[in-house]
Structure 1
């Protein structure tokens, strides 16, 4: 059985870990981060796409019994006050003006000028043109790390129950949508050291100043750390992969390890592929999956993809909505008559009363599981930009034997995620997984639904627009003049009419 992980091609580095696992949904991750940060003695490093000073980490009974403040900035500031040696560094993407209305204003003043001098906040604009910094990770005392799809910000908290109405799911006093995501935890000095190296390289590029971190001291988290409610993975090694045109921290330009990893994992799949992704518009990844679906021989492949029902904002529709509709259509065509099974789904929240919930659960996770021998989780969506121009960071676990301890724990993680999306406590599936899920989704037995895209309007636009030619989800650093020609050559007017029509229909 060929190995998927290939250092130098789809892996930046492989490191030993003392313990590792998944934290599923914001409630579990925020609580784990809070508890771990309380134990920090030397430093905390935070890299993210977005931070909010008033993001609430603990809620309900957990907040009532908390040993300190429960909102992000007050909590971090209190840690500096109680631990005189503690240094905290926060590195946030210096976001584009298009996101300004959605972001907290005057963040540098709020985060740095009103807090302890050992809490340092910087915006990072060292990415390439049209790119963004999208790596989401934390390092505590050079011993424990978290990475995945979750930022410490508003509108991200939810529990695995994904209730339609949850009085604790509030941001700045207002209810927000049900939200699903996955974060990994990694205990080990070697892997945390590599992530600290990545952080300090990013900080130096962004600020022009180095960071000197103290050497790790005595053990902060014991020999076999595991947060409450964690899904443990029986692994002693983890591989890290990046997208970074500038290659921090190695300086090797054009780093596309994450995309290579997705493509290689799909090509080597023998029995099953499970994917959760916020968006699916990547040309390279979709073409790899089409090639695998069209390949004969071997056992029938079971492919399950869980993503959002539709783009929720105009920005998302412009950037990836139409391209995703084409990908879904192409994948379904490739699966027809291939002997392989393909199921593409979205999921709705737990609903009380008659009829369908008014909105779906927002899928923000980025997970791929192949043959229950390989698990990948991180920040990278299946989009062109995540494969080429944004900075991304993923972690992978692999075993040669799906029946060993790691394989069984990967299988348990996959079944647990599918059970969550169905809204059941436990899941036992036979060999024809997609047929069973299609049947349950069609009968609305549970929360899983068959994805409706592309609809008639999308098909009409796809007849005149090539969404891959639009500049909003680039798969390479391109010339602006060529981008402008591509927009108009391929029908920006038709795209605009479709967007306006859809927005009118939703009023």
Structure 2
């Protein structure tokens, strides 16, 4: 198994059922229904939380009475005074809070004088962010993935060009956006409840009571169809060492093990692809004569100027490194667009390895997600007596996800994959003769300033040690890769071959 507690994950727990939710329209509906079913507690961990977020927005950005999450939670707290509702969000700096409608100020104003407990998490090194995204209900149902609670997150899986509901309050339109969330019932939710309590205690110094028994009735919403039956779920974390808390790099170790283990296919959707450690691991597999196919999907360009200057430029180095290793033509890099060829922001963080493992969470393929920010991913592995069924479910999920990009059915994706003999070939086959919804993502030519930013990974530290010392970054990367290889080998897990970290500008 790739999920090894203490190395590639924190722990492995068995879920009674699990679901993967494609895009936020379905997630918000499921989360609202589940919260209505809550009997004991609703606990949020989020990078950002905006109380003006509508669950099911109307045209023009309006919402029905009680359909915005802030008023909804306050009404729920009044209706069920015994319900313990807590929100823990990142204590973002003012410039970042400003880009998210000053959510830190709005949250406090919204919940002041109510029984909803809202706190900001600043228990982090300077410059690090709290990036986990989850809701835990009754310690028995947990949603975990890449989606924050914000008024510009909502979109359907159709990613329509002119959806009149994809509008902020005040009439400002925002780009189409792709997110993924998981829903987990049973013991994995209990474990994520422990994670929430740990974060709450470190941020506030307060303990949150822990339930002694499972709820008599599950809060799982009737509108949400399970993607998986009973299945093992691994939980992987990232955390900087800070004030006595040890460093956690389980997400980084899991990515390296997944890349090294893949036999046929590495399918990745991610917002940021900048880590030289990950680039070298992928490049090593592409250089193998019989290595796996690598399919990457990311945004054409980030929406913010800062991310365009930092992450987009550094991603070009990442892509160039993979192109140089693509001797056997197994690399496929795409950016999704709408029918009118407008960008779709890929904020999801998804990995599917062969038919063996699916991983969803908050971790980007950049440096800071590997060891500087707080992150949490969940993985479902085909193992044990239900392995054969789980492999079929993973394959079906992959076909459904690719189908949603192309505007076809999952059955068509599966048939094309069989015919073409590869997923990249299937995508080309299904797009032949029409407007491509998945366009090729290519590295950009970098000028002197962009090359300097990319070479030093400005804004993207790998750990606390190099956070404010970019000249130490390359050495820190090499040391981190060596340490992860040692840990993976000691646990009997696959690791990328020994090689020097390169920069290809």
Question: What TM-score do the two structures reach when normalised by structure 2?
Answer: 0.85
Change in 2 beyond 3 A, CA 1:33/1:216: farther
Instruction: Kindly provide the CA deviation profile for residues 475-505 of structure 1, in whole angstroms up to 9, marking residues without a partner as x.
Output: 1223577437989xxxxxxxxxxxxxxxxxx
In structure 2, the residue matched to 1:413 is 397
8 Å CA contact 1:136–1:147 kept in 2: the answer is yes
> How far apart are the structure 2 equivalents of 1:253 and 1:217?
30
Instruction: Kindly provide the CA deviation profile for residues 406-441 of structure 1, in whole angstroms up to 9, marking residues without a partner as x.
Output: 111111111111111112233232313323424555
CA RMSD of aligned residues (A): 2.7
Change in 2 beyond 3 A, CA 1:403/1:219: closer
In structure 1, the residue matched to 2:500 is none
Instruction: Kindly provide the CA deviation profile for residues 28-53 of structure 1, in whole angstroms up to 9, marking residues without a partner as x.
Output: 10000000000111110001000001
Change in 2 beyond 3 A, CA 1:422/1:160: same
What aligned pairs does 1:235-250 form with structure 2 within 5 A after superposition? 235-246=230-241
Task: For residue 425 of structure 2, give the secondary structure of its aligned residue in structure 1.
Answer: helix
What aligned pairs does 1:365-404 form with structure 2 within 5 A after superposition? 365-400=348-383, 404=388
What aligned pairs does 1:423-442 form with structure 2 within 5 A after superposition? 423-426=407-410, 427-428=413-414, 429-430=417-418, 431-438=421-428
8 Å CA contact 1:266–1:273 kept in 2: the answer is yes
Question: What TM-score do the two structures reach when normalised by structure 1?
Answer: 0.85
In structure 1, the residue matched to 2:315 is 324
Cα shift at 1:349:
1.4
8 Å CA contact 1:318–1:472 kept in 2: the answer is no
Task: For residue 465 of structure 1, give the secondary structure of its aligned residue in structure 2.
Answer: helix
In structure 2, the residue matched to 1:97 is 94
8 Å CA contact 1:281–1:323 kept in 2: the answer is yes
Task: For residue 465 of structure 2, give the secondary structure of its aligned residue in structure 1.
Answer: coil
Instruction: Kindly provide the CA deviation profile for residues 109-168 of structure 1, in whole angstroms up to 9, marking residues without a partner as x.
Output: 32321x52x201011011122210000011101111000000111210000000011011
Task: For residue 452 of structure 2, give the secondary structure of its aligned residue in structure 1.
Answer: coil
> How far apart are the structure 1 equivalents of 2:431 and 2:402?
12
Instruction: Kindly provide the CA deviation profile for residues 31-82 of structure 1, in whole angstroms up to 9, marking residues without a partner as x.
Output: 0000000011111000100000100012349x9998x711010000010111
What aligned pairs does 1:119-130 form with structure 2 within 5 A after superposition? 119-130=116-127
In structure 2, the residue matched to 1:296 is 289
Cα shift at 1:294:
1.5
Cα shift at 1:5:
1.5
Tell me whether 1:311 sits opposite 2:302 in the alignment.
yes
8 Å CA contact 2:157–2:404 kept in 1: the answer is yes
What aligned pairs does 1:263-282 form with structure 2 within 5 A after superposition? 263-282=256-275
Q: 2:276 aligns with which of 252, 277, 283?
A: 283
Q: 2:465 aligns with which of 478, 484, 492?
A: 478
Name stretches of at least 5 consecutive residues in structure 1 with no aligned partner.
Answer: 352-356, 488-507
Task: For residue 391 of structure 2, give the secondary structure of its aligned residue in structure 1.
Answer: helix
> How far apart are the structure 2 equivalents of 1:463 and 1:364?
23
In structure 1, the residue matched to 2:74 is 77
8 Å CA contact 2:268–2:297 kept in 1: the answer is yes
In structure 2, the residue matched to 1:55 is 53
In structure 2, the residue matched to 1:505 is none
> How far apart are the structure 1 equivalents of 2:471 and 2:93?
19
Change in 2 beyond 3 A, CA 1:480/1:78: closer
8 Å CA contact 2:144–2:183 kept in 1: the answer is yes
Instruction: Kindly provide the CA deviation profile for residues 237-266 of structure 1, in whole angstroms up to 9, marking residues without a partner as x.
Output: 211000012499xx7612100011011001
In structure 2, the residue matched to 1:503 is none
Task: For residue 478 of structure 1, give the secondary structure of its aligned residue in structure 2.
Answer: helix
8 Å CA contact 2:461–2:470 kept in 1: the answer is no
> How far apart are the structure 1 equivalents of 2:450 and 2:344?
30
> How far apart are the structure 2 equivalents of 1:141 and 1:437?
41
8 Å CA contact 1:44–1:140 kept in 2: the answer is yes
Task: For residue 144 of structure 2, give the secondary structure of its aligned residue in structure 1.
Answer: strand
In structure 1, the residue matched to 2:135 is 138
What aligned pairs does 1:252-271 form with structure 2 within 5 A after superposition? 253-271=246-264
Change in 2 beyond 3 A, CA 1:191/1:347: same
Cα shift at 1:191:
1.7
Tell me whether 1:234 sits opposite 2:238 in the alignment.
no
In structure 2, the residue matched to 1:502 is none
What aligned pairs does 1:37-56 form with structure 2 within 5 A after superposition? 37-56=35-54
In structure 2, the residue matched to 1:30 is 28
> How far apart are the structure 2 equivalents of 1:79 and 1:374?
37
Cα shift at 1:287:
1.1
> How far apart are the structure 1 equivalents of 2:472 and 2:197?
40
Task: For residue 380 of structure 2, give the secondary structure of its aligned residue in structure 1.
Answer: strand
